Chains A and B, each alone.
Chain A
Amino acid sequence: MQVAGRWRKVSRSECSAPYPELLELESGGRYTGWNEAPSAFHPLWDRGGWEPAGSGRLRISLANDAVREYAVKRDGDVLVFHDGDGCRIEYARA
């Protein structure tokens, strides 16, 4: 699954609020996440690494350097993450 590139968050749910508005997944396994508009949250994904973790899963480091695993599905220009707590975070290719 090819997920590198720039993605813009589409989800507006409360649980998705800490995730960045924009996410740049670099092909080398690094990423940058940031918000364009002011937010109450610092992006949970701010700067770090990502890597595949088996079929349909990605490991992504967080702002406190923890690494969390997500189920991920790409459908065309839509990329959807599911965390382990039932939160769905949808991005569209920017």
Chain B
Amino acid sequence: MSTHTGDGSAVLPSEPPYFPEATLPPLPDAIETEAMIATGEDPVGLEVELEDRQIPTPFPPPFLFPPRPKSLRGGCYLMRYTPIQRAGALQSLHYDGTLRVERLSPSNVTASGDLYVHQPLKIWPGALPTHPIGPFKPAEPNPALGIPIFARRNYRYYMRVTQILEGATFLNSFTLGFELHRFNHTTKAWTVEGPYTAKMVWSAAPPGYPSAGNYLHGEVRTGGGVAGRLTIGWISTHLRKATLEIDRVTASETPLDNGLGFDWRDAYNAIGWDVTIDVSDADVTEPSGESWTDAEMHAAMLARRDAADLDREWRYHLICVRRLDSTDRGIMYDAYGGDSNNIPREGAGISSHWMIPNTATWGKVRGMRFGTAAAPYFRTGVHEIGHAMGLYHNAADNGFMHTTPDIAANAMPPVQFPDNVLWAFSPDDRKRLRHLPDIWVRPGGISFGAAYGTAPISPTDSVEEAEGLTLTVTPLLEAVPIGAPVRVEFTIRNDTEQALPIPASLSMKAGAVRGRVVDPSGVVRTFWPLVRCLEEEEIRELEPGASVTDSATILRGAEGALFPAPGAYRVFVDLEWSLGEATIRLSGSAPVMVTPPVDGSHAAAALRVLTSPDALLTLVLGGDHLEEGIEAIRTALDDPVLAPHYGYIEAKRVGKRFGDRDANVDAAAELLSEDTVMSAREARKAVELLESDEAVAGTDRNQGLIGALTDRAKGVQEKKGSRKRAKAR
């Protein structure tokens, strides 16, 4: 809550009334700090409790009360964010949610959160309802009841935590850095707000919190000043909470474990989820014989499910039937055309009577009925519910989200399937289940089928900032006409007195460079390298004081056109590379202005380029097969405003052989001039292209052009750098 000053601005009281007692049931007494050390299960190594450890006191003691380091306890925090109230607003508004803090070591933390709007009173001054609509004032979540579940319709923000207390501090505070990604329920798109910082201060928890010493509050600040107030209070060792209901037909087995004692709770404890297993009906009726359609399973789920309010409980449903119409072993039917009630990812089904092929590939379970092969049957259940939690297939290892036939085929004698099954989610899936937005993983949230890259996620726990290196981003042109690609140059400089490792290649075709573009309204669009899964990354050393410059030409990203409208943008370039077990990160940014169309021709050409998904591929890959992209670029070349920005792109295509078509360097040269907009990298490539044909390169016109472009290409170079290379990992 805030109070108003005489000038209409708002100030925050020092201690807001967190939970009006009249709205809550009686709460338990606070537990003493020393008793807070968790004695229960520790699902993901969350119990790194430096502040609760007994630290030996030296004798004689240097202080009456020796300082004790504080750290952020791993687990789930109840979170409240109260933005500063706008002058003249009728009602106060705040957001409730959870913050997930994952500790993998004393100095290694990943955190993320979600916020749901909590509107105490109806704001819009319309007519009063004619009938009661429930509690006049919705209750606040009760911290004594563990991880709260919020209504999906109130989902507003994903909190992407970018800075947090990684280790321990002797201070009573630390700085939390984060972005808020606002979710649009209609478009399913995210808009970033921030960045924000909050100096979080430890203070005594209000009644009801299970850990009196793990409660913090702070003033949230952004570039423009104070934005609001944030409180977080620890409530659980787990990160998320859900229920899995398992129903079956009489003839099918219930997949309870892998036959060796590894069960559902083991699978989910490992990812920090507190999952209650509800083994329910064992007499589901077969509607049309032994084999089930997707629609029949969906209908059975709706009819037999023990509870159905997904706004009070994250309940996933697994039905075990004899056979499936649409596949052999299992299916997450609540996707694509199988979701008859438009509530995605509620349920999955597995087949107990599929006969495992009697071939050597299937190892120890060959020829068995699936329901009697406990290990693969249970694994398929976890796999399908993994899909219901928003995960896709993952061939990184033999974990839960890999496909069963591939794991069976991967077995290397003498190990036989299913002994080669990895009873875990792969590391990247573990992170997704812990830190993707609620609305992505919870049943009834985002539909199955969206690319992972469309959702925000906190940076990985093991990322280290590349201290000593700086990344400077410079646009080739500070203002570009709408429809033109934006070319940025970026320079890494080593400011230290020792050589530092950097990626060997900074090309967009390699794996280290990615980035974001923030548009004038704060919408974030991402761009990635075209090759992302390099098994072995090359690194090199950058000598003290040396710098290296490269460039990127960007037009489209995962969310479409990166610069779709006129206005002021900011381009962030993010470099990430592996060094041993750690991921190293370096970021820089620069503003770019996109100017409006100057005439109808320019507007039409820009529209064509911006709405052609192939334009990016044509730009990066070239080739004649991307006909729509080529047509879009030709349209741009016909427009005098955009032509200089696309000359090199078309020259690159026609100057290279493709299929039966010969390279036409002469035509490429005609497309180039000293006015052609090119990054340093593109200029170097253009010189190489022109010089590939002696006859073309030898003309007076092209000699002059090559000279001019060679000067421009000097941007891609290293100053006083080493070319020494080493292999990472």
Query: Which residues of A does B touch, CB under 8 Å?
Result: 8, 10, 12, 17-18, 28, 30, 32, 35-42, 44, 46-49, 61-68, 92
Contact = CB atoms under 8 A, between A and B. Distances in A.
Please provide the 9 A-B residue pairs with the shortest distance between their CB atoms, ordered closest to farther: A38-B558, A47-B393, A64-B335, A64-B332, A67-B327, A65-B331, A42-B451, A66-B326, A46-B393
B454 interface: yes
Nearest to A62: B336
Contacts of A62: 336
A83 to B, nearest CB: 10
Contacts of A39: 451, 453, 558
Contacts of B333: 64, 66
B329 A36 contact: no
B199 to A, nearest CB: 36
A37 B329 contact: no
B351 to A, nearest CB: 11
Nearest to A8: B625
A86 to B, nearest CB: 14
Given A37-B556, A42-B450, A67-B327, 6 more contacts: A12-B613, A37-B530, A46-B392, A64-B335, A65-B384, A66-B333
Contact of A66 (B336, B526, B560, B628): B336
Contacts of A46: 392-393
A63 B614 CA distance: 24
Contact of B338 (A17, A42, A66): A66
6 contacts: A28-B409, A36-B531, A36-B617, A38-B559, A39-B558, A62-B336
A41 B392 contact: no
Contacts of A42: 392, 449-452
Given A30-B406, A46-B392, A48-B393, A40 B454 contact: yes
Interface in B401-451: 402-403, 405-406, 409, 448-451
Interface of B: 294, 326-333, 335-336, 338, 383-384, 387, 392-393, 395, 402-403, 405-406, 409, 448-454, 526-528, 530-531, 556-560, 613-614, 616-617, 620-621, 625, 628
A12 B451 CA distance: 18
B450 A67 contact: no
B346 to A, nearest CB: 13
Contact of A38 (B294, B451, B614): B451
Contact of A49 (B384, B387, B405, B557): B405
Contacts of B406: 30, 47
Contacts of A48: 393, 403
A67 B326 contact: yes
A9 to B, nearest CB: 10
B393 A18 contact: no
A67 B329 CA distance: 11
Residue from the set A30, A35, A40, A48 with the largest chain B CB neighbour count within 10 Å: A40
Contacts of A67: 326-328
Contact of B625 (A10, A28, A37, A66): A10
B29 to A, nearest CB: 48
Nearest to A84: B337
A62 B409 CA distance: 19
Contacts of B559: 38, 40
A46 B448 CA distance: 13
A35 to B, nearest CB: 8
B386 to A, nearest CB: 11
A54 B614 CA distance: 34
B528 A38 contact: yes
A61 B406 CA distance: 13
Nearest to B528: A38
Residue from the set A10, A42, A48, A64 with the largest chain B CB neighbour count within 10 Å: A64
A39 B331 CA distance: 24
A32 B454 CA distance: 21
B450 to A, nearest CB: 6
